[in-house]
Structure 1
Amino acid sequence: MSSTPNQTTGHMHSVKGTVVESIGNVTGLDSWKTSGKKEHAEGEAEVKAAQSKEYVEGVSDRVGGKVDEVVGGLTGNTTKEMSGKVQGAKGEVQMDANKPV
């Protein structure tokens, strides 16, 4: 597994682990069952870690965007205000997409 959690590689390891475990079940090889279960669990953990990381990034964008929106509104800087709205919306979408289950 990589040091930075990634949903794509996490799903890949999860599926690969399930396949290896299934082969172990069919062949009766306990080592394959065990290694498959382990890789599946590690893959699922990586997916959850990546989702958590991306959720926090969304929170950061949402808060930063709100700050820029308010500052832009107070100073009359419409560019900063609009930029803040876009950043906040981006953060909201990222949070929704990675909401903890």
Structure 2
Amino acid sequence: MSDTTEPSKTTGNYDYAVGSIKETIGNVVGAESLAQAGSEQAAKGDAEYKLAQTQEYAEGTADRVGGKIDRIIGAATGDSSREAGGLAQETKGKAQQAANS
């Protein structure tokens, strides 16, 4: 059965931290299997974090573009509510991009 959960920055950070600790302990006490397992867990965590970051950046891009379109249409048609909503969505998208770049 395949894993269908979304990538998570939190889970990625957790796996990276725990894996790094295991790897360090394994190296210190000479337990190669623990060091290897820790290295693999840290790599998995790092990859998950980066995937979640990329996905959130893409979502921010979609919000930014959609908001800009609504803002322009609202301004062109005199619909101040649509223009304001578009500006809010565009701003949200920019913030999400900045947080994930």
Coarse TM-score class (shorter-chain normalised): over 0.9
CA shift digits 1:3-58 (9 cap, x unpaired) = 31110110000000011111111221111010000000000001100100000000
Aligned match of 2:51: 49
What's the counterpart of residue 90 of structure 2?
88
1:74: Cα distance to partner? Answer: 1.3
Unaligned runs of 5+ in 2: none
- Residue 4 of structure 1: SS of its match in structure 2? coil
Query: 2:29 aligns to what?
Result: 27
Q: 1:83/1:63 Cα in 2 relative to 1: closer, same or farther (>3 Å)?
A: same
Q: Matches of 1:18 and 1:73 in 2, distance apart?
A: 52
Structure 1 outlier segments of 4+, above 6 Å: none
Aligned pair partner of 2:71 in 69, 72, 80 = 69
Look up the SS of the partner of 1:5 in the other structure. Answer: coil
User: For this pair of structures, how many residues does the alignment match?
Assistant: 99
TM-score by length of 2: 0.94
Question: Structure 1 residue 2: deviation in Å?
Answer: 6.6
Q: How many angstroms apart in 2 are the aligned matches of 1:54 and 1:96?
A: 10
- 1:81 Cα deviation (Å)? 0.2
Q: Could you tell me which residue of structure 1 aligns to residue 99 of structure 2?
A: 97
Instruction: Kindly state the Cα deviation for residue 90 of structure 1 after the two structures are TM-superposed.
Output: 0.5
Which amino acid is 1:57 matched to?
A: E
Give me the whole-angstrom Cα distance separating, in 1, the residues matched to 2:40 and 2:6: 19
Unmatched tracts of structure 1, length 5 or more: none
Q: TM-score, normalised by structure 1?
A: 0.94
